[in-house]
Chains A and B, each alone.
Chain A
Amino acid sequence: MKRVAITEGAAKIVRQLKEKHGDLIFHQSGGCCDGSAPMIFEEGDMYLDESDVLLGQVEDVNFYMNQDQFEYWKHTHLTVDVTEGRGSSFSLEIPLGLRFFIHSRLLTDEENKLLSK
């Protein structure tokens, strides 16, 4: 059971970015403008520590979220998708004219049990 999944369209873009940039990570942003959306960076670019929760992997890319934010998100399952757009921020897909975003759904009781094990 995973907390985070990815659509085929988004997975294709992740593979494309990996070819160009090497190992990557996702970090879920919060706040204004282009916030509330996942951002993808070269591994090592962003300083991560125990305050960042590893939600899982999509296309072999670790997906992180700040612990404080995770407290408000943990009852939901996330799917990374991609759409045409022009986000600002330093996320690596932006020059492609694309932007990752999140679809969410509630985790079922059963899934919650599995995840809390």
Chain B
Amino acid sequence: MSYSKPKFKEKYGNFINGKFVAPLGGQYFENTSPIDNSLIAKYPRSQKEDVEMALDAANAAKEAWGNTSATERSTLLNKVADIIEANLEEFALIETCDNGKPIRETLNADIPLAVDHWRYFAACIRSEEGGASELDQNTLSLTIKEPLGVVGQIIPWNFPLLMLSWKLPPALVTGNCVVLKPAEQTPASATFLMEKIAEVFPPGVVNIVHGFGPEAGKPLASSPKVDKVAFTGETTTGQLIMQYASKNLNPVTMELGGKSPNIFFNSVMDHDDAYLDKAVEGAVLFAFNQGEVCTAPSRILVQEDIYDAFMKRVVERTNAIIQDNPYDVNTMVGAQASNDQYEKIQSYIEIGKEEGAKVLAGGSANALEGNLANGFYIKPTILEGHNKMRVFQEEIFGPVVCVTKFKDEAEALEIANDTLYGLGAGVWTRDAHQLYQIPRAIKAGRVWVNCYHAYPAHAPFGGYKKSGFGRENHVMMLNYYRQTKNMLISYDKNKLGFF
């Protein structure tokens, strides 16, 4: 079964104060589909004035929204979830068109997971409580959580609606108003969502401003009208955003990527069974979403005594990947999100080869036929080498994995932790001791044990080291969008006696 490109309007506006508005400067940019490089639609090339307008709308709305009941906010989040779910196929098609990822992923992963994140946070807020402590017979300490006010959010292009659904629901459900800037590569699903939910929230509570980083992103990140900035992206922009936040003494959360090790101990091959099959798939998950995942398992570490036998299966499974038209439900790997990513990935494959890495699979761009010849396709690629090579150290953000072998647990950990980053990791073993001890010794915020690439709303996600700080998902996320009000109440009628 195959779908085709969805229909779009000629151009779209920003969503500010409850309605779509044209950018004040009247400028737009052309958004194209990486599937065939065809035009999707024009989106606002917003400037500082547009961001200011959105921030003013958010600030005007924050008091009333912050005073709504948890019940009310929760109900509205559930409404959004229902709306996305009712239009799931359309959202999936738009996402595939805009990002280049296969339709089977958007239908089965991106959009259903996005729905679940709205529901999860709608549920969280209803079940939590503040605190009350009796400090002594006459003194009570009350802890009340209050919203921050206005939150600026800058989201990436690899899972456009899902990343929006990681960031918006916890900020909204805690009583904040939001100005969100989608990535300029993928403005479509956020816009479609606003069309569908335009009436759900009071005006000014959710605002979406499109545009380029230096023109719209920077004014949002540096504005004194923002009380917090949440960012997913790379290290240099992360540093800049922290710098701007420091001028306003604002909190930030940062999710900045990784170079995640996926470690296979020799016990995975003790039996030729369903578990081994799962482990092989676990290694091949490097190609999931064209490798455009911050936690992509982009370094495979295999114990030396099973290396040849295990990698033979991984190479076979990789070579069996269907890379074709992303609208076809059988397609497993689609197009890279943009031409510059496509060029960058190829330049990494080249330096990998020059550094002496051996190509076990793929190793080049994939020239597809017809309209797809204009798209950005890279063959799922396996490079064999050692951990000091640049391809082992830098996030390629493409379907490229680097594989090396290790002797024992100590060497596995040494290689796994020899990276600037610490976002994700995978550990595969049948050994009960390794199942616990190895994950504990890996310096990363998320270690998948005998699985990979699961992103449930109920589990905290975030980085160690240069992968950033702060967490996303999970109930703990609520506190990243709140401040703590402590009321210290005396029930003692008597004075202190000092004066």
Interface residues of A (CB under 8 A from B): 27-37, 39, 41, 45-47, 66, 68-69, 72-73, 76, 83-92, 94-95, 97, 99, 101-106
Most buried by B among A30, A32, A39: A32
Q: Which residues of A contact B214 (CB under 8 A)?
A: 90-92, 94-95
Considering only residues 230-244 of chain B, those with a C-beta below 8 Å from chain A are 232-240, 243
Indicate if the CB atoms of A95 and B420 lie closer than 8 Å.
no
Whether B257 pairs with A86 at a CB distance below 8 angstroms is no
Q: Which of B87-95, B319-327, B340-348 contacts A (4 or more CB under 8 A)?
A: B340-348
B388 touches A103 (CB 8 A): no
Q: Smallest CB-CB separation from A105: which chain B residue?
A: B354
Q: Is residue B381 contacting chain A, with contact meaning CB distance below 8 A?
A: no
User: Smallest CB-CB separation from A93: which chain B residue?
Assistant: B214
Q: How near does chain B come to A79, taking the closest CB pair, in angstroms?
A: 10
Determine if A31 and B350 form an interchain contact, defined as CB atoms under 8 angstroms apart: no
Report how far A48 CA is from B237 CA in the complex, Å: 13
Q: CB-CB < 8 A to A97: which residues of B? A: 29
12 CB < 8 A contacts A-B: A28-B236, A30-B236, A30-B420, A31-B233, A32-B158, A32-B232, A36-B344, A41-B240, A46-B236, A86-B184, A88-B217, A89-B217
CA distance A95 to B215 in the complex (A): 8
Which of A33, A47, A99, A101 is within 8 Å of B257, CB to CB? A33
Flag if A90 contacts B237 (CB, 8 Å): yes
Q: Does B339 contact A (CB under 8 A)?
A: yes
Give every chain B residue within 8 A of A46 (Cβ-Cβ).
236, 239-240, 243
Instruction: Specify which chain B residues have a CB less than 8 angstroms from the CB of A30 in the assembled complex.
Output: 234-236, 257, 394-395, 420-421, 466
Report if B113 contacts A (CB, 8 A). Answer: no
Cα–Cα, bound, A41→B212 (Å):
14
A39/B390 in contact, CB under 8 A? no
Contacts A35-B233, A36-B344, A36-B397 given; does A45 touch B240 at CB 8 Å: yes
Given A46-B243, A72-B393, A104-B351, A31 contacting B234 (CB threshold 8 A)? yes
Chain B residues, CB < 8 A from A68: 420, 466
Q: How far is the CA of A90 from the CA of B397 in the complex (A)?
A: 19
Contact B355 A106, beta carbon cutoff 8 Å: yes
Cβ of B466: which chain A residues have Cβ within 8 Å of it?
Answer: 30-31, 68
Known: A85-B340, A88-B154. 9 other contacts (CB 8 A): A28-B236, A31-B258, A46-B243, A86-B32, A86-B339, A88-B213, A89-B236, A103-B350, A106-B355
Q: Which residues B305-355 have CB closer than 8 A to chain A? A: 338-341, 343-344, 347-348, 350-351, 354-355
Q: Which of B243, B341, B388, B395 has the most CB of A within 10 A?
A: B341
Q: Kindly state the interface size class of chain B when it binds its partner.
A: 35 or more
Query: Which chain A residues lie closer than 8 Å to B354 at the CB level?
Result: 104-106
> Which residue of A36, A86, A87, A90 is within 8 Å of B396 (Cβ)?
A36
Q: Give bound CA distance, A103 to B338, whole Å.
A: 18
Residue in chain A with minimal CB distance to B32 = A86
Interface residues of B in 171-202 (CB under 8 A from A): 183-185
Alpha-carbon distance between A102 and B212 when the two chains are bound, in angstroms: 21
Cβ distance B23 to chain A, nearest Cβ, rounded Å: 13
Known: A46-B243, A72-B393. A88 touches B156 (CB 8 A): yes
Is there an interface contact between A90 and B338, defined as CB atoms closer than 8 Å? no
Decide if B42 is an interface residue (CB 8 Å cutoff): no
Known contacts A36-B394, A36-B395, A29 near B234 by CB under 8 Å: yes
Q: Is the CB of A72 within 8 A of B394?
A: yes
Q: Contacts of B232 on A, CB cut-off 8 Å?
A: 32-33
Query: What residues on A are CB-neighbors of B213 within 8 Å?
Result: 87-91, 94
A residues near B183, Cβ cutoff 8 Å:
33, 88
Cβ-defined partner of A34 (8 Å) among B233, B240, B420: B233
Please state if B217 and A90 are interface contacts (CB–CB under 8 Å). Answer: yes
Chain B, residue nearest A21 (CB) = B214
Contact A87 B240, beta carbon cutoff 8 Å: no
Q: Is the CB of B351 within 8 A of A76?
A: yes
Chain B residues 289-308 with CB under 8 Å of chain A are 294
Once A36-B396, A104-B390 are accepted as A-B contacts, the answer to whether A86 and B236 lie under 8 Å apart by CB is no
B474 at interface, CB cutoff 8 A = no
Contacts of A39 in B (CB 8 A): 236-237
For A46, the closest partner residue in chain B by CB is B240
Q: Distance (Å) between the CB of B100 and the closest chain A CB? A: 12
Complex alpha-carbon distance, A105 and B348, angstroms: 10
Q: Which residues of chain B in 253-267 are interfacial with respect to chain A, using CB atoms and an 8 Å cutoff?
A: 255-258
Whether, in the assembled complex, B218 has its beta carbon less than 8 Å from a beta carbon of chain A, the answer is: yes
- Residue B45 lies at the interface, judged by CB distance under 8 Å to chain A: yes
The answer to whether B340 touches A73, judged by C-beta atoms less than 8 angstroms apart, is no
